[in-house]
C-alpha cells in the first residue's frame, strides 16, 4: 500500500506569506487635496523666492574707519557675491571674505531689501607691537606681521612664538596700574627661561623673574614704585626676584637692597 505525501501545509504557508506582503490600498481621493495644496505652496514659495532673488545693486558699508577703506570692503563683497541674487547669497561667506581684509576685526552682513547688502565693520585695535613689525590686538592675536606705520605709543612685547596671548594678558593687567603711578611700560620681555622683565618709559628695568611674577609686581607697586617715580633718572633697574624684598641698581654703579 502506498502513501502519498500531502503538500497542503506548505501551500498554506505560502498563501499566508503572500497575504502578509499585501500593501494597504491608498485612498487617493482622500489625499489628493492635501497633495495639491502642498504642491501649490511649494510653487508659490519658489515663485516668491525667484521674484525676490534680485541681482545685487548696492553695498552700504558702515563703521569707524582709520585703516580700512570702505571701497575695499565693497570690492570684497561684490567678488564674493558674484552672480548670486539677494536671497541666494550666503551672508556668512560674505562676512568671512570681508574679515580677510587687513585691519578688519569683525564684520556683520545683512540684506537690505530690495537689492542691497549692509555691511558693518569693526577695525582692529592694536594694543602692542609684537617684535619689530607685528601688531597685537586685545586678544593677543597677531593681525599684522609687517606693519609699516606703527603708533609710537605702543609698547613692544618680545617673547618666544606662542606666548603672544599670555604676554598680552600680563601687559594689560599691569599697564593701568603703572599709569596710575605715573609710569608706563615701553617693553615687556619673556626670555627662553620664562623669566619676565618690564622696561618702563623712563628707562628703568623691572626684573620679575620666573616664579611668583604677580606677587613680585605687587611688591614693586607697594614699595619700590614710589622710589622709582621720584628718582627714575638715577635708577638702572629694580630686581624683585627676592622672597621678601627688592634690590635697586643705581646708574652710578651702586646697589641697594630693601625689604618689602
Fold of 128-259: Rossmann fold (3.40.50)
SS3 208: strand
Contact between 206 and 219 (Cβ < 8 Å):
no
Per-residue confidence (pLDDT) for residue 147, from 0 to 100: 85
List all residues 6 or more positions away from 158 whose beta carbon is below 8 Å from its beta carbon: 131, 187, 188, 189, 190
Domain edges within the chain: 58-123, 128-259
What average pLDDT does this structure show over 98-104? Answer: 95
Q: Which residue has the higher pLDDT, 16 or 102?
A: 102
Distance between CA atoms of 17 and 79, rounded to whole angstroms? 63
Question: Mean pLDDT: which of 8-12, 226-230, 236-240 is highest?
Answer: 236-240
Q: Identify the residue with better confidence: 201 or 85.
A: 201
Length of the chain: 260
Please choose, from the candidates 247, 252, 222, 229, the residue with its C-alpha nearest in 3D space to the C-alpha of residue 237.
247
The C-alpha cell that represents 216 in the structure block: 613680585
Q: Using one digit for the tens of pLDDT, what is the confidence trace for 105-118?
A: 999 999 998 889 99
**What pLDDT is stored for residue 25 in this prediction?**
62
Label the pairing between strands 235-239 and 104-112. Answer: unpaired
Q: Give the sign of the dihedral formed by CA 243, CA 248, CA 253, CA 254.
A: negative
By mean pLDDT, which of 125-129, 150-154, 157-161 is the weakest?
Answer: 150-154
Name the band, by pLDDT with cuts 50, 70 and 90, for residue 72.
Answer: very high
Q: Would you say residue 26 has pLDDT above 50?
A: yes
What would be the CATH architecture of the domain defined by 58-123? Roll (3.10)
Amino acid at each position: 500500500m502506498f502513501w502519498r505525501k500531502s503538500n497542503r501545509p506548505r501551500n498554506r504557508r505560502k498563501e499566508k506569506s503572500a497575504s502578509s506582503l499585501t500593501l494597504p490600498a491608498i485612498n487617493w481621493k482622500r489625499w489628493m487635496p492635501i497633495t495639491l495644496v502642498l504642491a501649490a505652496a511649494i510653487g508659490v514659495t519658489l515663485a516668491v523666492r525667484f521674484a525676490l532673488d534680485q541681482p545685487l545693486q548696492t553695498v552700504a558699508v558702515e563703521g569707524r574707519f582709520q585703516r580700512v577703506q570702505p571701497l575695499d570692503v565693497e570690492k570684497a563683497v561684490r567678488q564674493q557675491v558674484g552672480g548670486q541674487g539677494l536671497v541666494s547669497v550666503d551672508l556668512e561667506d560674505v562676512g568671512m571674505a570681508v574679515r580677510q581684509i587687513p585691519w578688519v576685526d569683525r564684520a556683520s552682513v545683512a540684506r537690505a531689501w530690495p537689492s542691497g547688502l549692509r555691511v558693518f565693520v569693526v577695525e582692529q585695535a592694536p594694543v602692542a607691537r609684537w617684535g619689530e613689525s607685528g601688531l597685537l590686538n586685545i586678544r593677543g592675536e597677531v593681525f599684522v606681521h609687517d606693519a609699516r606705520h606703527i603708533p609710537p605709543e605702543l609698547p613692544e612685547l618680545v617673547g618666544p612664538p606662542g606666548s603672544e596671548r599670555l604676554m598680552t594678558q600680563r601687559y594689560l593687567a599691569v599697564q593701568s596700574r603703572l599709569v596710575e603711578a605715573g609710569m608706563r611700560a615701553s617693553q615687556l620681555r619673556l626670555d627662553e627661561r620664562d623669566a619676565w622683565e618690564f622696561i618702563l618709559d623712563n628707562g628703568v628695568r623691572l626684573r620679575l623673574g620666573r616664579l611668583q611674577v604677580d606677587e613680585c609686581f605687587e611688591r614693586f607697586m607697594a614699595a619700590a614704585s614710589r622710589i622709582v617715580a621720584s628718582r627714575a633718572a638715577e635708577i638702572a633697574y629694580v630686581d624683585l626676584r627676592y622672597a621678601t624684598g627688592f634690590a635697586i641698581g643705581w646708574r652710578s654703579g651702586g646697589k641697594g637692597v630693601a625689604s618689602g
